[in-house]
Amino acid sequence: MRLDDFSTHDFALVETILSDPRMMDDFGGVFPPEKIEKVQRHYLASTESEEGWVFTIRPSEGAEAAGLAFLWDRPWRDDVITELVCQVVPEYQRRGLAAEAARSVIARARLERRCKSVHAFPPESSPAAAALCAALGFAKLDRCDVDFAGARLRARHWCLTL
């Protein structure tokens, strides 16, 4: 597995993810083109400014993109937390790519002392995402509603102390 910095070359991957009903069912449905463009610009700006880490997940060197991994700060209740997100397209799911990408991003965050803890908010309806959080050592906290690019998501809050 390889993580590459997100670039304009990855815009098609974002469109693939955000326009796939299987990927977006928990997020209020597929995004319209103008919303996809806004998300693409946000991911690129986060990468270029280094405010957040956005990576393209590839199964191997030179392979096509299989998904995205993010680590960025977000407001949460009365605080700012660091959130980890991994999205793998259906054709590449169940191959361990999300787990490997998450482990790599967490290891880098530890090494660079980017944060004291990492939070995840997988959809409550995703047992695979919950199993991944548990396998990575995250502690299950509470159920909550989170905003995903303007869509409301019923989620489970998990936290990993680094």
Structure tokens belonging to residue 98: 């999300």
Residue among 56, 59, 82 nearest 69 (CA): 56
Q: What is the pLDDT of residue 46?
A: 92
Do 62 and 25 form a contact (C-beta atoms < 8 A)? no
Question: In the chain, what percentage of residues exceed pLDDT 70?
Answer: 100
The pLDDT confidence band at residue 151, using thresholds 50, 70 and 90, is confident
CA distance 149 to 101: 22
The domain of 105 spans 2-161
pLDDT in tens, 73-106: 999 999 999 999 999 999 999 999 999 999 999 9
Question: Taking a C-beta distance cutoff of 8 angstroms, is the pair 155, 143 a contact?
Answer: yes
Please check the confidence at residue 115 and state whether its pLDDT lies above 90.
Answer: yes
Q: Which of 107, 119, 124 is nearest to 73 (CA)?
A: 119
**DSSP H or E stretch at residue 115:** none
Q: How far is CA 104 from the centre of its chain?
A: 13
Mean pLDDT, the chain, as a whole number? Answer: 95
Distance CA 154, CA 140 (A): 15
For 92-95, the CB contacts below 8 A with 24+ separation are 92/57, 92/59, 92/66, 92/67, 93/128, 95/59
Query: Is it the case that residue 13 has pLDDT exceeding 90?
Result: yes
Specify the pLDDT at position 35: 93
* pLDDT over 90, % of the chain: 89
Distance CA 22, CA 30 (A): 9
* Count of domains forming the chain: 1
pTM of this structure: 0.93
Coil vs helix vs strand at 2: strand
Q: What is the mean pLDDT of residues 11-36?
A: 93
Q: 69 pLDDT exceeds 80?
A: yes
- CATH at residue 8: 3.40.630.30
